[in-house]
Structures are given as C-alpha cells and as structure tokens.
Amino acid sequence: MLLFIKPPYKSTTKFIPFNSICHPVKINNLKVSVCHKRRRINKFLTLRSNFAQTMNKLIGICIVLLLTACDYSSEDNSSNVTKSPESINMNPDHASWYQVSGNNDYSYVKIINPWDTTQLLEEYILTKSDQLELPEQYKGIKQIKVPIQSMACLSGSHFIMAKKLGVFDRIKAVGEVSYILNEEILEGIENGIITSIQANGVIDPEKALIANPDVIFASPYENSDFSDLEQFGLTVIPFADYMELDPVGRAEWIRFMALFFGKEQVADSIVNSIEQEYDRVKKLVLNTGRKPTLFSDKPFRGIWYLPGGESYMARIFDDAGADYLWRDEASSGSLSLDFEVVYNKAAEADFWRLFITQSGPFDYQKLQAIDERFVDFKAFKDKQVIICKTVESRYFEKAGMEPEIVLADLARIFHPEQFPDHQPVYFTVLK
C-alpha cells in the first residue's frame, strides 16, 4: 500500500543575502526593511528554517518507523498462512483402496493393498510439469506427467469409465480379447488401432512395448508382481476397483482414472449423480415391511459358491430390500458350500438369483437340465428365479459403473409397487 503524506510544516522563509540591494520585502506577510536590520532578520530566519527542517526530519523518522512496524506485523501474520498452492480435497468418499492428496500443481496417489492394508501396492506423483520442485517427502516417488495421451486397459470395466470421461480414444491396448464384448474395442483391434497385449493373465512385454501406452491399467491380484514390466520402462497402474465392497465405491474408481486425464470435474459429476440415485432407490425400500428371502448362484463342479455376508453383492441385496440368507456370514469373498447345506437353508426362499453366462434363450427347462434337484426349491416352483444374462447385458463390463441401475433392477423385483416405471437393464425374472 502506498501512502501519500503531506508534510505538516512547510517553510516559507526567504533568505536575504548580505550583499543584496536594499528594498522592502514581504516575509510571511510582514513587510520589513532589510537595509537596516538584515543581519538580525537573517539570523532569526535561519533559526526558524533550522527548526522547520528539524521538525520535518522527526516526522519523517516517525513515518518510517510506523511503516516498518506495519511490515513486521504483516510478516508475522503471513507466517500463519501457507505459501504452498491451495490444497484440494481429492480423496474418495466411498472407495477404500486408493487415496489422493496434493494441490493444483501435483497429486500424490496411494494404492492400498486390499490383502494387507498396512502396505501399498504402488504410489505415484502426478504432475503437469517436469520442472516442479516437490516437497522433500515426495522425492524418489515415481512421477507421471499428466494428462497422459494413451493407455492400456486390461479390464472391461475400464472401457465404460473411459467412455464416460470422454477419453475412449486414448485406449491403445487391451488384454484377454476372448472375453471382450465391446464392439468398438473389437473393431479397433480388427483395424489395427488397438493392440492385444495380454493372454491367459500374462502381459506380453514385446507387444506392450510396440503399443507403447503411457500407462497400463491392470487389475491386481494377491501377490501379483509387475516389476518385470517396469524393467522394460512400462508403467503398470494397479486398478483395484473390483475389490471394493461398497457399490458406489466401486464406481468411484472413475475418479482415480480421471486424475490421469485432468477430468476430475467430469468424474465428480458422474459419481455425484450415481450416489444420489442409489440413495433415492435405497430409501424407497426402507419402510416396505417384510423383506423377501433370497439365495444366490448355483453349483460349479460340485461346490456351491455364494457371496459372503460382507460382499459387494450381499450389500446390494440388502440395499434392495431383500433378506439374503447368508447375510450374517462374516466374509467378503465367496462361500464354498455343499448342495445339501444350501438346500437345507434355502429350500423355502422366496427368490433365487443367477448369472447366466451363455448366450441365447434360457428358460426353466434349461435350468432344470443343469441339475434335476433344482426343481425342489420353492423359488423354482413359484417361478421366482432372477437372472442376469451377462453376455447380452455386458454386465461384467458395465454394471460396476452403474450400481444404481443394478440396485433398481433388484428393488423393482422385490418391491414392485415402489418402482412401477423402472425398465430393467441387468436383472429380470426368468420367464
């Protein structure tokens, strides 16, 4: 701040040299004769001038001291305000397996190990500039310049995230072509725009180097190790969305992908919309009275695998207003049970939910053909078998990003009076 200060005292003294010609002069409106008393007057005026100069010097010193005190005060106050760029809250609200901190200049990303939460799978610094001076605690951590220009997506769930973020054209490589149902990806592979770099769970370093993506988004598994790929200069990003137990948290990994493209605001809008709709559906079934009972899946090679009571699907069953019969089993993975154990508990259940992985028509006769004992379940007799045809609906590619639709599909079946206008996308009752 600039201060304009008018001096409080301005001398109007006029000095008369001793050799001046005698003539009348006005001094401060006093007319005097300088011829007879010039020595006395000059002495008086000299004293008066010196006094004025001294006063002005004292006032100037006071002003300097005042301004200096203000500067010190300003410095003291500024010491309480951070001089680093503005901090931004980038942590997810529902997802558990990644964390983000940082500011407008960089993001520090931690990917937590779901199998050992005391450890990290990886950590990165995402920065827009190669010249940025990072805080001491972040030095030595791998840096990735963003926005990236290309990526490899080794899970179908990444396709829909990229589509929603508007970065689908950045996909340059994929894995496990035999499981891909996305027509745009398959067309890109056929035209040579997209390269397949993985088969049977193994990434081919040579093909990955030819595709040369900026990063590879890969689903991690317990004790998975991508260090051999890092030796070739490839950057593999563990993408643990499928390990999330919160349905909205699984969808919230779109915020993680958005960090690499500068699409944070787009991702925020998408997640907020999902969250609001999921909560709306959930609230509609809270006070509907009785919850229908439910069991899930079917035997595979003699073992009946069901979702544990703390699993992703168990959470959706509960939020949709169903009484999942294994809800009290403290497991977030799959339960491995004998047929007789399931039958003894679920024979009289109201609903039975199944994934149908083969394409084409499916009915109760085909279900019975799998195992004759299925006809003894009440849900089979009452034709209350809920199915999801995973091929036609592309469930495993899309549903993770659309938990609010999955929830509404099931809630409509359990409580149809609450959802008269909902059109099912993934789950329907078998005809």
End-to-end CA distance of the chain: 80
The domain made up of 285-429 is a member of CATH 3.40.50.1980: yes
Query: What are the distances in angstroms from CA 220 to CA 122, 232, 237?
Result: 11, 19, 9
Q: Which amino acid would we find at residue 162?
A: A
The whole-angstrom separation of Cα 49 and Cα 30 is 16
Residue-wise pLDDT tens digits, 37-87: 444 434 444 444 454 455 555 444 444 344 444 443 334 433 333 334 455
Tell me the fold of 98-263.
Rossmann fold (3.40.50)
Q: What is the mean pLDDT of the chain?
A: 85
Domain-by-domain residue ranges, the chain?
1-81, 98-263, 285-429
* Residue whose structure tokens are 């590879």: 216
pLDDT digits over 358-405, tens only?
Answer: 999 999 999 999 999 999 999 999 999 999 999 999 999 999 999 999
CA distance 410 to 429: 10
User: Are 98-263 and 285-429 equal in CATH topology?
Assistant: yes
Average pLDDT estimate for 286-294: 91
Name the H helices within 29-108.
34-78
Task: Quote the CA–CA distance of 348 and 229 in Å, as a whole number.
Answer: 52
For residue 288, name the pLDDT band (cuts at 50, 70, 90): confident
